A and B are shown apart, each in its own frame.
Chain A
Amino acid sequence: MDPLIELLRNNSNRSPKEIALSLGVAESEIAARIAAAEADGTILGYSAVVDRLKAGDRRVTALIEVRISPERDGGFDRLARRISKFDQVRDCFLMSGGYDLAVIVEGKDLLDVATFVSEKLSTLGGVLSTATRFELKAYKENGFLANGGGDEERLPVSP
């Protein structure tokens, strides 16, 4: 992978100047390469990874296992893209195994998610079945441990 993209995947919050010095290229080149990656869709967007509990976010999240029937042209793509377009859907992946799509849905409460599943998702033509599993607690998200992950301490000065 492009080291610039790898660096941004780990922390997108670093200044172009700092990135430029780290990678040993000109700041203007970094800015141009980031702009190009944004323009061609390599970089989809930026967001902070938040401990939702600490942020007071009381919304509920569910993983919905969806089985769908593939179509003659395009397989699962058309329906998967259609499902992805709902604002409630945070992530949508085609999976191997016992079901086809893993759909991560956020709603303001259980009823909200249930309504979305029963009225929007399961009624779509081609959706064969859904199984909804609610998230109870997040321990690690996007590579970051909740609660900072540990109490490891280093001495401030050592030989």
Chain B
Amino acid sequence: MEYDNKISNIIRDLPRSGIRDFFELVIGRTDVISLGVGEPDKPTPWPIREAVIRSLEKGQTSYTSNLGLESLRIAISEYVTKQFRTTYDPKTEILVTVGVSEALDIAFRAVLNPGDEVIYHEPCYVSYSPSIKMAYGVPVVVQTREENEFALMAADVEAAITPKTKVIALNFPTNPTGGIMPHEELAKIAALAVKHDLLVFTDEIYCELLYDGRQHKSIVEFPGMRERTILLHGFSKAFAMTGWRLGYACAPAPLREAMMKIHQYCMLCAPIMSQMAGLEALKMGASAYEEMRQSYEQRRNLIVSRLNGMGLHCFNPGGAFYVFPDIRSTGLTSKEFAIQLLEKKCVAVVPGSAFSSAGEGFVRCCYATAPDLIAKAMDLMEEFVNEVRPAK
């Protein structure tokens, strides 16, 4: 059978995630130190796992409300109020989803008409552009640059706004760069959104993981923003719950209701086990992640010093658990660098080009890895860099 014409044009033309290609090279190898993951190196805290075991023993295995358990939405509302100084009504403004990925997908589908433009920043997590395209939107890229420590510049956003712009999508701290937003730049972007009457989607998945005593501020906190913002958050990173696939969206009631329509037909509800886990995670609050956050900060200090020490320029990222060193001095492309490092030294990093063309010349190293393994990986990477760097 000729399958090409059986597959929708949009899906056919969608590129495969660059991460997948690299994944195939590494999978099955047991001799590799991996700095290639996008998740915490510890399993979900035991009290959370224990609470789910207990709920299974009690037989809590049924559907929940499409919106998610009411007790969980109340807990989310309280957590969001504390975290973002913005309050949402658990009954009308919160939707529990299958990870932020689903929340992002249904948010785009809920608001975009064919041809509507979405401004987002690259390098970024792999799903932004495909999610926009799958919702028949037009992705409009704004590059973030190393000279700004990969923060998004309001002037660049302004230059990308057209009469067709409907949404600005933000994700800070950012995967893969670890970049964060200076508050004054965020204020300017908020003002642009108000001026041009745009929606803003803010993916806050790394907001708990900030370093050097920084306080997180979301764009939703700026004047005029709550009514036009869909705030997306989840449990994966701070609570080490990637495999539970649990997230949520907070938005004004009409937007939440539109997302809800899609969610109820395609997902019905998030798995109840995951929702029980989320409830326990929010009961633990910061105690579930504060120790890990401090440990990540020390690991970041270690890896940033080592990378700069071996001559790979690397800015000191303010959040998430990634560093994004500039590898251009080796004369290799980011893909060549990652493949050769894997083949010669058995260390896995992800080519920056997997996160868009703006990531070319960089690699992503995740430091949610045991400190002794980070140190070992840095020793090996230093050997590698000395071997491949062109003689001066």
Contacts and interface: CB of A to CB of B under 8 A. Distances in A.
Nearest to B38: A158
Contact of B36 (A18, A23, A157): A157
Interface of A, secondary structure class, is loop
A56 interface: no
B306 A21 contact: yes
B125 interface: yes
Interface string B158-175: 000000000000000001
A65 B245 CA distance: 48
A156 B371 contact: no
A155 B242 CA distance: 11
A97 interface: no
A22 B39 contact: no
A11 B299 CA distance: 14
Contact of B23 (A3, A15, A23, A157): A157
On chain A, which size bracket covers the interface?
10 to 19
Interface string B14-33: 00010100110011010010
Interface in B253-283: none
Interface in B181-220: none
A85 interface: no
Interface string B105-148: 00000000000000000000111000000000000000000000
A157 B26 contact: yes
B71 to A, nearest CB: 28
Contacts of B294: 3
Given A23-B298, A23-B301, A156 B39 contact: no
B350 interface: yes
Contacts of B348: 156-157
A155 B306 contact: no
B62 to A, nearest CB: 28
Contact of B371 (A22, A24, A154, A157): A22
A22 B301 contact: yes
Interface string A1-26: 00100010001011100100111100
A24 B350 CA distance: 26
Contacts of B301: 21-24
Contacts of A11: 371-372
B43 interface: yes
Interface in B70-128: 125-127
Contacts of A156: 23, 26-27, 29, 32, 34, 36-37, 348
Contacts of A150: 43
A154 B37 contact: yes
Nearest to B125: A159
Contacts of A23: 298, 301
B380 interface: no
Interface in B348-392: 348, 350, 371-372, 375
A68 B285 CA distance: 43
B34 A14 contact: no
Chain B CB within 10 Å, residue with most, of A15, A150, A154: A154
A23 B212 CA distance: 11
Interface of B: 17, 19, 22-23, 26-27, 29, 32, 34, 36-39, 41, 43, 125-127, 175, 242, 294, 298-299, 301-302, 305-306, 348, 350, 371-372, 375
Given A22-B371, A157-B36, 17 more contacts: A7-B298, A13-B372, A14-B371, A14-B375, A18-B371, A18-B375, A21-B302, A22-B299, A22-B302, A155-B27, A156-B27, A156-B348, A157-B19, A158-B19, A158-B39, A159-B125, A159-B175
22 contacts: A7-B298, A13-B372, A14-B372, A18-B302, A18-B375, A21-B306, A22-B299, A23-B301, A155-B37, A156-B23, A156-B27, A156-B29, A156-B36, A156-B348, A157-B27, A157-B34, A157-B37, A157-B350, A158-B19, A158-B39, A159-B17, A159-B125
The 4 closest A-B pairs by CB, nearest first: A22-B298, A157-B36, A21-B305, A156-B26
